[in-house]
Amino acid sequence: MEDKTRKIREGDIRAVSRLIRNLEDRIPTTDEAIRHLFPFTGKAHIIGITGSPGAGKSTLTDELIYAFRQMGKTVGVMAVDPTSPFSGGAILGDRIRMQRHAEDPGVFVRSLATRGALGGLSKAVGEGIHVLDAMGKDIIIVETVGTGQQEVEIIDHAHTVIVVLVPGMGDEIQAIKAGILEIADIFVINKADREGAGKLFKEIRGSLDMAKNFPGGWRPPILMVESLFETHSFSQSVAELAQKTLDHHQLLIDKDLMGDRKRRKATAEMNEAIRAAVLEPVLDELVSSGRLDEMIQKLVDRASDPYTMAAEVAKQYLAPKKTEEP
């Protein structure tokens, strides 16, 4: 185990990628590996990028990698793609947009599949971040589709959250509905040369105006990024975005707000670890014994209700609380 820890800290690609694979596949022995790596983590600046499919997250990430590399920083990327609920497969296509860093040893890009069903993705991502952190990456970018509870949980691992919106996709309303305004530290209006960018800008600005106060005085900036094909202006906009994320990180440190972020991250990690240790073994057993199917069938037949059956499971697995004698 020491040997493996050392290899990962030295940035051995094989060791790192195998461990992340095991995290993704939820191999139980990974807990031990992460335990050994844990003391070497906590140094990286973790950036979350979220937004609807097709918003241009991967392309932005690619350019961000470039911007950070220009500043001499090393970068790790975790790109999360949804697994098909029908076949269980996934096309991990984000890195196709990050090709030009393929041979740069200062960049490590990894795709993760969501693996659906029983949750726990956020745990794999959180632990994957630890691995890249221990590997010595200065910046870690986590890119995820911004829909669903799992993805929101993933974002809890980030220090700086970038929300990418595009005009004309109904995002104006979606953003407000999804509670995405609350989690964003920086807004990017991507493809801002499209019609409706001004309207989107005003919507976000309006919502921000309604907020009462901003922790540390950081009012999330709204950046317009346009026309990927105008290489120069595109690069400039993204370089500005890179600078803003660093400013935000600096502000968190200066205003002593890192504690809040670390607390948010720690809360997420604790929740996930408890869920993995307590809930998952129970679910595993229910699935493999066929009991979950039986219960589902009962529910379909209306022979019982979910609460009664859940209470039965709880009674079986949870030790009874000791009640004090009067």
Partner 1 sequence: MAQKPIKVMVAKASLDQDGKEARILARALKDQGGMDVIYTGLYRSLEEIAEQSLQEDVNIVLLLIHTSAPMDIYPPLRRELDQRGGENIVLTAGGHIPRVNKEALQKTGVVKKVFDYGTSAAGIIDWIHRELKV
Q: Give whichever of 111 and 237 is closer to partner 1, judged by the CB atom.
A: 111
Task: Indicate the helix (H) or strand (E) that contains 143.
Answer: strand 139-145
The whole-angstrom separation of Cα 46 and Cα 32 is 23
> Quick check: 289 binds partner 1 (CB under 8 A)?
no
CB of 90 to partner 1, least distance (A): 5
Starting at the edge strand that comes first in sequence, how are the strands of the sheet with 222-224 ordered?
A: 107-113, 75-81, 139-145, 45-51, 160-165, 186-189, 222-224
CB of 102 to partner 1, least distance (A): 4
Of 89-97, 133-141, 191-199, 209-217, the segment contacting partner 1 by CB under 8 A is 89-97
CB of 132 to partner 1, least distance (A): 11
CB of 92 to partner 1, least distance (A): 5
The whole-angstrom separation of Cα 112 and Cα 126 is 12
The whole-angstrom separation of Cα 236 and Cα 64 is 11
Listed in sequence order, the residues at least 6 apart from 305 whose beta carbon sits closer than 8 Å to its beta carbon are: 299
Of 101-109, 162-170, 231-239, 315-323, the segment contacting partner 1 by CB under 8 A is 101-109
Token couple for 225: 């990024």
> Quick check: 325 binds partner 1 (CB under 8 A)?
no
The whole-angstrom separation of Cα 47 and Cα 160 is 5
CB of 166 to partner 1, least distance (A): 22
> Quick check: 278 binds partner 1 (CB under 8 A)?
no
Of 46-54, 88-96, 147-155, 197-205, the segment contacting partner 1 by CB under 8 A is 88-96
> Quick check: 89 binds partner 1 (CB under 8 A)?
yes
Residue pair 186/248 in contact (Cβ under 8 Å)? The answer is: yes
User: Interface residues for partner 1 in 25-84 (CB under 8 A)?
Assistant: 25-26, 83-84
CB of 93 to partner 1, least distance (A): 6
Q: Give whichever of 49 and 98 is closer to partner 1, judged by the CB atom.
A: 98
Q: Give whichever of 116 and 148 is closer to partner 1, judged by the CB atom.
A: 116
CB of 23 to partner 1, least distance (A): 11
Residue 60, helix vs strand vs coil: helix
How many amino acids of this chain bind partner 1 (CB under 8 A)?
34
- Work out the angle at residue 248's Cα, subtended by the Cα atoms of residues 245 and 252, and round it to the nearest 5 degrees: 140
CB of 91 to partner 1, least distance (A): 5
Residue 121 dihedral angles phi and psi, to the nearest 5°: -60, -45
Among 1, 71, 117, 314, binds partner 1 (CB under 8 A): 117
Residue 248, helix vs strand vs coil: helix
**Residue 299 corresponds to which amino acid?**
L
β-pairing, 160-165 with 45-51? Answer: parallel
User: By the criterion CB under 8 A, which residues form the site for partner 1?
Assistant: 12-14, 17-18, 20-21, 25-26, 83-84, 86-93, 95-96, 99, 102-103, 108-111, 113, 115, 117-118, 280, 284
